[in-house]
Amino acid sequence: MQYRFENYLLDTEALELSRNGERVPMPARILGLLVHLVENRHRVVSREELADHGWPGRYIADQTLTSRLSELRAKLGDKDGNRLIRTVYGEGVRFVGDATRHGGRAAEIPGPGRGMPSIAVLAFRVRGEGLVDRWLATAVADDLLTGLSRLKTLFVIARGSSFRFTSFDSAPIEAGLELGVEMLVSGSVESMGDKLAVSVELSSTSTGRVIWRERYDLDRPDVPGLPQDMAGRIAAAIDREVTLDRASQARGLPGRQLDAWNHYHLGWSEAITHRIDQFEQPRTHFLDAIAVDPKFARAHIGLAQTYFCEGLSDLIGNMDTALDGLRRASDDALACDPSDPYAHLMLGRSHVLASDWQGIEHIRNALEISPNVYFARTDLGRIYAMTGLVDEARKQLHAAHELSPFDPWRFSLYTSFMVVELACSEFPEAARWARLSRDLPFRSAQARLAEMGSLHMAGDEKAAREIGQEFRMMHRDFDFGSFHAAVPVIPQPVLDIIETGYRTYVVG
């Protein structure tokens, strides 16, 4: 049997406690006390009963029991003894957390679209005979489970429970009943001569519906460094697909039934499928989420993102309002959850947007917590590009592109690539990124400026002139000084190239 409370999962059969998918180390005797309290949460358990349960047939001093309960509370972050395990003086001890039961025949598949999304990564199936295939299947699934748990947007079942199931052996609905989750990740590794194929599938346990599926074809020489990189790409894709799927479900619910997570997913789905300067509707959803749950860190992070987008879009106005909102929302997010990588990212952005480069350390902190934060790699790559650290910039930007090759805001990533290649006088490569950027449905003024400069230096004046005409229509009130203000440390040689393109194809 499994019990879920807060962001913990207690597996009574495996005698294991996990938090956000990561095992919480705890002596078996103390874990046994927790199991007994949770299973009897409807009543006060006397201290004598607890002692008999934990040390059957032995006399235990009351001080020993008190000490063990204190250790248990410390493991749960319940030092005051009021949030989860409460002492009822003169009577005993009671578990007062909001625990729900999952697993076994009594379990029900979670209702769709409410609360923190729950997910389990099943053991990957091996479709080859080699040791490398078996190692890779285990390593990718392991790293994927860790990567998903670090995202802080999913309740991830611990491997001790989920790896009891092998991918594609059981129907999603059956596995969902046993594990008590609403989504499953299944995968396989298959040998094909000198190639390997890694297939991954995200499915709903309430309907058996496939939410997302992808196949990755790889060369065997890439295998040694593959698992973590592959898991990062898969985790980023799953995070996006869960958000879009949850938002789709939330749109069918009456407004009064929406919880904080519903509002959060609606906000992010609006943000990642609309233009960067259309931030008012996502902001409304994030504010609604905060109104439902003021301590919801992810809602504050989403709100901070809308202010960041406002700052990037406001090339002709005063950024003070956007910067103030970004800083306040970032501080609130970090206060709610200091371990959330995106809270550190947003705080770093609030500094960098104000030209305070100490913010780089906050962005690095985000990657230390979770290496799969796409936006942190994009931001670091952009900063390195602007400060002349070309090799490091390319490394971070290519890592970001690997993590999320279809990100709707990738015009910003492509702009950073153009700046790097212009700084190295690699004009054909800069023009290649400019053409990729030009094909996107939305680009910022900065992207169009970089495109014109790149194409001009590569000798493609026709394409540069077409972008100049487009620029005049889309950015009527623009002046070049505002561009430099928005990216104050762009290398001067690159700035000169971009200004030449602007003067030639827009002004001139």
Cβ(140)–Cβ(189) under 8 Å? yes
pLDDT tens string, the chain, 508 residues long: the values are 788 888 888 888 777 888 877 788 888 888 889 988 988 887 888 888 888 888 877 778 888 888 888 889 888 887 776 788 888 887 888 888 888 776 543 334 444 456 888 899 999 988 866 676 788 888 889 888 888 888 788 888 877 778 888 888 777 877 887 787 889 999 998 877 777 788 999 999 888 889 999 998 877 655 555 667 788 888 888 988 999 899 988 887 777 778 899 999 999 888 876 555 567 889 999 999 999 999 999 999 999 998 887 776 654 455 788 889 999 999 999 999 898 999 999 999 999 888 788 889 999 999 988 887 888 998 888 788 777 788 898 999 988 887 776 666 778 889 889 988 998 899 999 999 999 999 887 787 888 999 999 999 999 999 999 999 999 888 877 777 666 655 555 778 888 999 999 999 998 7
Cβ(285)–Cβ(267) under 8 Å? yes
Q: Which uninterrupted H or E stretch holds 92? A: strand 92-95
Measuring CA to CA, which residue among 162, 169, 184 is closest to residue 16? 162
Measuring CA to CA, which residue among 339, 154, 369, 377 is closest to residue 265? 154
Which domains are present in the chain?
2-102 (1.10.10.10), 118-248 (3.40.50.10070), 400-508 (no CATH)
Residue type, 203: S
Measuring CA to CA, which residue among 101, 99, 109 is closest to residue 13? 101
Residues 6+ apart with CB under 8 A from 94: 37, 41, 43, 44, 45, 85, 86, 88
Starting from the edge strand earliest in sequence, which strands make up the sheet with 22-23, in order? 22-23, 16-19, 8-11, 2-5, 100-102
Q: Is the pTM of this model over 0.75?
A: no
Residues 6+ apart with CB under 8 A from 25: none
Residue 435, classified by CB atoms within 10 Å of its CB into exposed (0-12), middle (13-18) or buried (19+), is middle
Cβ(187)–Cβ(140) under 8 Å? yes
Measuring CA to CA, which residue among 430, 400, 411 is closest to residue 498? 430
Per-residue pLDDT, 108: 40
Q: How far is CA 305 from CA 272, 276, 322, 405, 441, in A?
A: 11, 10, 10, 20, 20
Cβ(405)–Cβ(238) under 8 Å? no
